[in-house]
Amino acid sequence: MPDLHKWTLVAGGASGARCGRLTTPHGVVETPAFIPVGTKATVKGVRPETLREIGATIVLANTYHLSLRPGAEVIRDLGGLHAVMGWDGPILTDSGGFQVFSLAGLRRVDDAGVTFRNHIDGAEMTLTPERAMAIQNDLGADIIMALDVCPPYPCSREEAAEAVRRTLLWLDRCRAAHRRADQSLWPIVQGGVERDLREQCARRMVDMDFPAYAIGGVSVGEGHALLREVVGWTTPLLPADRPRYMMGVGEPRDLAACIAAGVDLFDCVLPTRNGRNACAFTADGMIRLRNEVYKTDVRPIEADCDCPTCRRFSRGVLRHLFASDEMLGPILLSIHNLRFFTRFFERLRQAIRQGRFDAEAQGLLDRYYQND
């Protein structure tokens, strides 16, 4: 089924910021796009129709969490992730690698796979490339990710090199074990902050010919300057006619830098996690709604925001909801923050189509970071 997944360039050139259209079995994603994170098969507190209303076109769910609870087979028996999430648009699942290397109690990594104690009941489990594929085949997302090795930051050059070697070894096995032609399998370029390792990993993956390429192991503490360098080394080696996905990046200056380098897809927990913590994204930077200064503030979070929250609720009301621990507070703020991100991307897509990406991005960033 080769035509189920394809990406077509819409605007921009062989290098730099570009617009594209990603076709999946469950619909089209205009890129560059932001992917809201639905860790446990739900974008916390946000109904799927609201996600649609505020411009989300694709969502992400986490393989590690869902394989533990309720279990991949349970998701499959409930009709797959689209049924479970009540979302008939495109879905992407990660491989579980990042969580196993960061959340779980890591026991052992060898060429066979990674053995860990899960964070729920402490049971020892092993994730192999074959198991990562079987789980994601059961979950049934449109896009699935190959199991990679995510070293911490900082790590030694030897550790980064070993992660690349193992990621490539596992990629072969993922491809061999992947069973569903309706799911697109994407590899993840690793290599830490070592230029030659990033290049070597990207070249080997491109030789293996995948429909898209992800960049992983960034936004793990290396900072903006190194992230820019990594994306600058990696994207020129990736084919211009395939989508590129930067995993786990959501800080506005990082997003703009990656889009400028030709990255098309991003996911991040920032809008929803910050939303649950009363932190609101605005064009003028983040504001903390628990602050006393908003007590009788009758203005919406952002005057020009078209989200359902800003149309009906003031900063003062939101502050009250958070101060009273009412569940509507995190719900409403998650919705606004997600809309902030989808609007950010809508503006940048329009700017790319009009050939003025650099000026638009600079304007957005100057305003967002004005108080830094």
Catalytic positions = 94, 267
Report 329-348 residues binding Zn ion (CB under 5 A). Answer: 336
Measured from the CB atom, the residue of 254 and 302 that comes closer to Zn ion is: 302
Answer for which of 81, 305, 318, 321 binds Zn ion (CB under 5 A) is: 305
Report 219-278 residues binding Zn ion (CB under 5 A). Answer: none
- Report which of 4, 25, 3, 18 is spatially closest to residue 241, judged by C-alpha positions: 18
Measured from the CB atom, the residue of 224 and 299 that comes closer to Zn ion is: 299
Residue 187: count other Cβ atoms within 10 Å of its Cβ: 28
Measured from the CB atom, the residue of 132 and 318 that comes closer to Zn ion is: 318
Shortest distance, position 275 Cβ to Zn ion, whole Å: 11
Shortest distance, position 156 Cβ to Zn ion, whole Å: 45
Regarding 280 and contact with Zn ion (CB under 5 A), the answer is no
Answer for which of 310, 351, 352, 361 binds Zn ion (CB under 5 A) is: 310
Regarding 145 and contact with Zn ion (CB under 5 A), the answer is no
In sequence order, the β-bridge partners of residue 143 are 92, 184
Tokens 């991949």 -> residue = 72
Shortest distance, position 273 Cβ to Zn ion, whole Å: 17
Regarding 307 and contact with Zn ion (CB under 5 A), the answer is yes
> Quick one: 174 exposed, middle or buried, by C-beta within 10 A (0-12, 13-18, 19+)?
buried
In sequence order, the β-bridge partners of residue 267 are 35
Torsion, CA 77, CA 79, CA 81, CA 82, rounded to 10: 180
Contact 193, 153 (CB under 8 A): yes
SS3 (DSSP) at 63: helix
Shortest distance, position 313 Cβ to Zn ion, whole Å: 9
Measured from the CB atom, the residue of 268 and 307 that comes closer to Zn ion is: 307
Question: Both ends of the chain: CA-CA distance in Å?
Answer: 49
Contact 30, 57 (CB under 8 A): yes
Q: In terms of DSSP bridges, do strands 285-288 and 279-282 run parallel, antiparallel, or are they unpaired?
A: antiparallel
Measured from the CB atom, the residue of 53 and 130 that comes closer to Zn ion is: 53
- Report which of 263, 267, 345, 280 is spatially closest to residue 316, judged by C-alpha positions: 280
Shortest distance, position 287 Cβ to Zn ion, whole Å: 12
DSSP string, 135-203: HHHHHT-SEEE-------SS--HHHHHHHHHHHHHHHHHHHHH---TTSEEE-EE--TT-HHHHHHHHH
SS3 (DSSP) at 120: coil
Measured from the CB atom, the residue of 137 and 309 that comes closer to Zn ion is: 309
Shortest distance, position 304 Cβ to Zn ion, whole Å: 9
The site that binds Zn ion (CB under 5 A) totals a number of residues, namely 5
Q: List interacting residues with Zn ion (CB under 5 A).
A: 305, 307, 309-310, 336
